[in-house]
């Protein structure tokens, strides 16, 4: 049985959806649109094996990470009442606040309301500089003095 609560002041139907979290999505259909402010995304913090999570550059088995941990999600599809994010954005949500499903491609998709989003994020690119490039580019002890030249006279 699904426990539902509709509050007449908003368009949200609050379902107790935890019971659906482990179910696979239908493989013979694909989502073409969503309703209300529902967002569909794929986890962007999953390692290449599809099961482990990446935290601060370290690959961790998913079972070692608290399911309430922050998750990074790439937005794939948005409902018509979604106002603050668009397809292609990357957002952060609490890990236990979305409804997960497996797609036929094996990716873990997550569905959530826009109100679950805490922010839009971009990756911080860390540039590794080889050690040989860490030495100073300018050595003042080897500087060559600049010769003064005569100023050109105006005609």
Q: What is the pLDDT of residue 54?
A: 87
Domain carrying residue 65 = 25-124
Q: Could you tell me which of 34, 31, 2 has the C-alpha nearest to residue 15?
A: 2
- Rounded distance between C-alpha atoms, residue 90 and residue 92, angstroms: 7
- Give the CATH number of the domain where residue 110 resides: 2.30.33.40
The answer to whether residue 6 sits within a structural domain is no
- Contact between 82 and 39 (Cβ < 8 Å): yes
The answer to whether residue 149 sits within a structural domain is no
**pLDDT: is 33 or 124 the higher one?**
33
The answer to whether residue 99 sits within a structural domain is yes
The answer to whether residue 54 sits within a structural domain is yes
Q: What is the pLDDT of residue 89?
A: 97
The answer to whether residue 142 sits within a structural domain is no
Note the pLDDT tens digit of each residue in 100-128: 886 767 778 899 999 999 999 998 876 66
Percent of the chain with pLDDT over 70: 64
Q: What is the mean pLDDT of residues 71-99?
A: 94
The domain total for the chain is 1
Check pLDDT > 60 for residue 138: no
Q: What is the pLDDT of residue 51?
A: 79
The answer to whether residue 11 sits within a structural domain is no
The answer to whether residue 13 sits within a structural domain is no
The answer to whether residue 4 sits within a structural domain is no
Q: What is the pLDDT of residue 86?
A: 97
How far CA 95 is from CA of 45, 88, 98, 112, in Å, comes to 11, 19, 7, 11
């Amino acid at each position: 049985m699904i426990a539902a609560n509709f509050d007449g002041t908003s368009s949200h139907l609050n379902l107790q959806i935890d019971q659906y979290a482990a179910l696979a999505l239908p493989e013979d259909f694909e989502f073409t649109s969503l309703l209300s402010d529902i967002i569909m995304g794929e986890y962007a913090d999953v390692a290449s094996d599809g099961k482990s999570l990446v935290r601060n550059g370290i690959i961790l088995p998913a079972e070692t990470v608290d399911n309430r941990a922050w998750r990074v999600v790439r937005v794939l599809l948005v409902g018509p009442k979604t106002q603050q994010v668009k397809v292609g954005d990357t957002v952060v949500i609490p890990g236990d606040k979305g409804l997960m499903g497996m797609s036929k491609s094996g990716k873990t998709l997550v569905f959530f309301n826009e109100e679950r989003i805490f922010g839009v994020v971009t990756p911080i690119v860390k540039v590794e500089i080889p050690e040989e490039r860490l030495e100073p580019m300018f050595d003042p002890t080897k500087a060559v003095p600049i010769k003064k030249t005569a100023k050109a006279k105006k005609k």
